[in-house]
Structure 1
Amino acid sequence: MWARRLPNAWPDRRAPQAALAALASVLLAWAPLAHARGYTPQGRCGGYERVNIGSPAGTCVALVADERDGLRAPRRVLEISPGRLWIIDMGSWVPRQGRLLELSLPSPSGAATQRPQVKVLADKLDRPLALLRGPDAQIYIGEAGRIWRTPVPAIGQPIQPHTVLDQLPDDGAHPLKEISFGADGSLYVNIGSASDRCQDAQGALPYPCPERGAMQFRGAVWRAILRSPTATGQPAQSPVQQFAPFALGLRNSVALATLPDGPAKGSLWQAENNIDYRDRNEPPEELNELLEGADYGWPYCIGAQRPARGYEQRARCAATKAPHMLWPAHTAPLHLLATPQASPFQGQLLAAWHGPQGHRVVGFARQKDGKPGGKAIEWLGNWTADGKTRPLGRPTGLALNHAGQLMVVEDYNRTLLMLLPDTASAPAPQR
């Protein structure tokens, strides 16, 4: 396969982009992330404020936290223990505005809505995204240029961060790091492409694409093989034994998930945020099952192994791995959550669709082979802006709590939402 490469071998692309980065920082400081997009509560839902978002019969959507609680651009949420949540808040696209927050939820009771207690566990994080519990029970966080982990501290105690991977590429169009763990404990990391479609400064499309060259392998998912702790229980001196490309031709893998059970247990799934065409219907987003050594086509191929615009005479799409499923264009899947079969979601693969043709949370049921398929099951929908009670839905992160209830965060709208029963008996949507 590909030769092993160490993180410190990434080319330094920052120097020639310094002026552009400075300008981008100024412009991004005024990006939509800086503006609140509020909801008008419509009664109560499980002791919280209820918001007007479509959900299955017998359920409601609760507004648990928002900008009143200090949320700026939440990207991921994770339950540490009942009532104790951690949230990755990116802040904005300006570097080092991110935070790791801890929310302590009140016990909803009575007519008055109590606000969660919020504590900043870490600040000045560089465009953080990933937030995941590892097989070692530590919490793993992905910043633009590094992955680190911390044991869960006692309430009120500080975290103890330890670097796992650093000197990762943090420049270009897709610097965010998503992660997933394999069944064998391997850590999979998104190394997004530096550009939309490998265009150069003049807009030309070189062939071969230099981002796929042996010097960098951008637009790929890499695999880190982690060392086990030493016999004394202390972390090994270097936590990573090997770090190498796993799958190529993936523009931006900010949605990764490993199936936890069933016939396809351990399979790794990726939702592709495809090339940006100024076309409402092209190109489709993709759901891919990632296999070692496979090439999924970026930037040469899109959709069902079709040549991308500008590569019609040069692409060799038949040699690439076909997508498992195609999703509508511009849905922008920003997170995947593989639910256990024993959960209320019965093993569905949930997806947060964030884009202009997304703004919903959908699920895909496992088929006989254990893999997701069939029609999308809508869990949160009817989420267009109505000018009165709700903004356009912008889901970015999904998680289940100890009771199997779905938690959703939105970046632009600065919210933490929960899907809760509206009655004593809440039927599930038709499958």
Structure 2
Amino acid sequence: MVPRYILRTFLLLSVCLPMCLSGYAQKGLPSKQPYTATVNSMYPQHEDFKESMLSRILVPQGFKASIAATGLGKPRIMALREDGSMYVTRRDVGDVLLLSDKDNDGRFDDLKTVWSKFLGVHGIAIHDGYLYLSSSKSLKRGKIKPDGTVTDTVTLIDNLPDGGQHDNRMIAFGPDGMLYMTVGSNCNDCAETNRENATMLIISPDGKNRRIFARGLRNTIGFDWQPQTHEIWGCDNGTDWRGDDIPPEELNKIEEGGDYGWPWVYGKQLVDVTREDPSGTTKEAYAKTTKPAVMNFPAHSAPIDFRFVGNAAGFPDDYKNDALVAWHGSWNRKVPEGYKVQRIHYVNGHPVSASDFFSGFLDTAKQTRFGRPAGITVAKTGKVYISDDENGVIYCVAPVKP
């Protein structure tokens, strides 16, 4: 059965919303321009996974896709240990799994739960022998034992901003040894009441000295450090309910102190005409003070994870400084977008192009899908693991040995 289009045409009337954030203490002025948009709700029909579907997966020449694990429910974000075993978060169950390949056949055959009763757990990182985990409200860590199990668990932070619409916190340690965390907006499009919503935070490994690193990021989930420049890059999810093509998803270079414009500005310093003016200025003037996106991608593609390839063994040399981004897939555009992993090619530290790296989930002719990429992790051995949180599969993409 082909899903139906549900078409809604609506008038977005910008209203003057109270600004409770410091620096936005007064109300802005209402937008002078009404805006009409046609919004399409389109969910490609779900297909249950069968291992024969692997033949529908497309990867670049010189690479091969395989199945690393199945039957995992809704796996999200992954972290690899030095021995090749893998931690996986499952936010809906509230646990963390440890997968191991005991017989070295390329497929995980041993599973144990190493953390439970942590509802909403999403972000994960390994640092100095500790496993760090984050949910919408909490940051926790535990000591990793030699067998991969976790002990001496503690809560480092328990007062992160309310998750609201975007509760998927992501964490990673930078070259400076500090913990970085993305905190999405509480809403689709609103004046936030907590300064830490729609930001990237920087935190000491002990959970202290927390501060805002960058702001105006509606929902940047995955991010990583570019190998050449050590700059932070990540893809941001744009606002819904503006139509099929507005606003685009963004690739941003995330700089300390940078303001990326949300909710008044998107893309390459374009103003959202549905919004009121910020207090004391206009959207147009404010836009000039924000950081523009470096690349734009189709609206509503929904980026989740973002990782640089680095020195993964066996990869062609021109991949070494490139990134991979998981597009979870759209729900509110007439022609679906996403449902794949793309390679973003960098030259001299700057992104210049994007191409499909792992695709085939979406059948646009039949309007069906059999997966939604969510997490990415790149092993030093050259294996790229990609989680599908719809059918409970973890895939592996690796260079073909000559």
Question: Common fold, TM-score beyond 0.5?
Answer: yes
Change (3 A) 1:279 1:101: same
- Shift of the 309–102 alpha-carbon distance from structure 1 to 2, 3 Å rule, reads same
Aligned counterparts, 1:30-69, within 5 A: 37-42=47-52, 50-67=54-71
Aligned pair 1:258/2:225, yes or no?
yes
> What corresponds to 1:350 in structure 2?
324
Contact 1:274 1:285 in 2 (8 A): yes
Aligned-residue offset at 1:342: 5.5
Q: Which residue of 1 aligns with 2:122?
A: 129
Partners of 1:393 and 1:410 within 8 A in 2: yes
Residue of structure 2 aligned with 1:225, choices 204, 220, 228: 204
2:46–2:370 Cα contact (<8 Å) kept = no
CA contact (8 A) 2:329 2:340 kept: no
Inter-partner Cα distance in structure 1 for 2:167 and 2:54? 35
Sort the Cα spacing of 1:404 and 1:342 in 2 relative to 1 into closer, same or farther, 3 A: closer
How far apart in 1 are the matches of 2:202 and 2:150?
A: 30
Q: CA deviation at 1:61?
A: 1.8
Q: How much is the aligned-residue C-alpha RMSD, in angstroms?
A: 2.7
Whether 2:371 is the aligned partner of 1:393: answer yes
Which of residues 241, 244, 256 in structure 1 aligns to 2:211?
Answer: 244
What one-letter code is carried by the residue in structure 1 that aligns with 2:293? P
Contact 2:98 2:148 (8 Å CA) reproduced = no
Rounded Cα–Cα distance in structure 1 between residues aligned with 2:364 and 2:258: 43
Change (3 A) 1:241 1:217: closer
Contact residue 90 and residue 127 of structure 1 kept, 8 A: yes
Partner of 1:334: 304
Amino acid at match of 1:38: D
**Retained in 2: the 8 A contact 1:63–1:415?**
yes
**Distance in 2 (alpha carbons) for counterparts of 1:79 and 1:320:** 36
- Report the 3-state secondary structure (helix = DSSP H, G, I; strand = E; otherwise coil) of the residue aligned with 1:125: coil
- The CA deviation at 1:355 is 1.5
Is the Cα–Cα contact under 8 Å of residues 51 and 63 in structure 1 kept in the other structure?
no
Tell me which residue corresponds to 1:16: none
- Of the candidates 275, 279, 303, which is equivalent to residue 243 of structure 2? 279
Question: How far off is 1:168 after superposition?
Answer: 1.0
Question: In percent, how many aligned pairs have the same letter?
Answer: 26
Give per-residue Cα distances to partners, 1:326-369, cap 9 Å, x unaligned: 1111111101112214642412111111122111111122212x
> Take 1:114 and 1:187, find their aligned partners in 2: how far apart are those partners?
31
Asked if residue 146 in structure 1 is aligned to residue 150 in structure 2, the reply is no
Is the partner of 2:257 in helix, strand or coil? coil
One-letter code aligned to 2:197: R
Report how far residue 41 of structure 1 moved: 2.4
- 2:114 and 2:135 mapped to 1: Cα distance? 15
Match of 2:112 in 1: 119
Instruction: Map 1:368-383 onto structure 2 (within 5 A).
Output: 368=348, 370-371=349-350, 373-383=351-361
CA drift of 1:251 comes to: 0.8
Q: In structure 2, how many angstroms separate the alpha carbons of the residues matched to 1:403 and 1:222? A: 31
5+ residue gaps in structure 1? 1-9, 11-31, 43-48, 92-96, 199-208, 227-238, 426-431
* 1:324–1:333 distance in 2 versus 1, CA, 3 Å: same
1:325 aligns with 2:295: yes
Cα deviations by residue, 1:112-169 (Å, 9 ceiling, x for unpaired): x9761211111121211111222x2422211121112223212275433232322112
Q: Which has the higher strand share?
A: 2
Q: Partner of 2:301: helix, strand, or coil?
A: coil
1:108, 1:391 → 2: CA distance? 31
Q: Residue 408 of structure 1 aligns with which residue?
A: 386
Is 1:159 aligned to residue 169 of structure 2? no
| Aligned counterpart, 2:17 | none
- Of residues 247, 259, 271, the one that matches 1:295 is 259
Instruction: Give yes or no for contact 2:142–2:150 (8 Å, CA) kept in 1.
Output: no
Q: Which amino acid aligns with 1:415?
A: V
What is the deviation of 1:105? 1.8
Residue 386 to residue 268, structure 1, CA distance change in 2 (3 Å): closer
Residue deviations 1:163-193 (CA, integer Å, cap 9, x gap): 2322112341112211122221121112221
Contact 1:271 1:285 in 2 (8 A): yes
Taking the TM superposition and a 5 Å limit, the aligned residue runs for 1:14-29 are: none
Contact 1:129 1:176 in 2 (8 A): yes
**Partner letter of residue 347 of structure 2?**
Q
Number of aligned positions between the proteins: 343
- Partner of 1:254: helix, strand, or coil? strand
When normalised by structure 1's length, the TM-score is 0.73
Q: CA separation of 1:114/1:268 partners in 2, compared to 1, >3 Å: closer, same or farther? A: closer
Secondary structure of the structure 1 residue equivalent to 2:98: strand
Distance 1:161 1:37 in 2: 39
Q: Which residues of 2 match residues 200-211 of structure 1 at below 5 A?
A: 209=191, 211=192
Equivalence for 1:80: 81
Change in Cα spacing, 1:152 to 1:128, as seen in structure 2 (3 Å) is: same
In 2, Cα distance between equivalents of 1:145 and 1:55: 37
The residue number in structure 2 matching 1:102 is 98
Which residue of structure 1 lines up, in the alignment, with residue 12 of structure 2?
Answer: none
Q: Is the 8 Å Cα contact of residues 311 and 380 (structure 2) preserved in structure 1?
A: no
Report if the CA contact (8 A) 2:182-2:220 is conserved: yes
Unaligned runs of 5+ in 2: 1-20, 22-42, 331-336
Q: What is the rounded CA distance, in whole Å, between the counterparts of 1:291 and 1:114 in structure 2?
A: 39
Q: Conserved in 2, the CA contact under 8 Å of 1:51 and 1:62?
A: no
Task: Give secondary structure in 1 for the equivalent of 2:57.
Answer: coil
* Equivalent pair of 2:326/2:340 in contact (CA under 8 Å): yes
2:29 alignment counterpart: none
Q: What's the TM-score, normalizing by structure 2?
A: 0.78
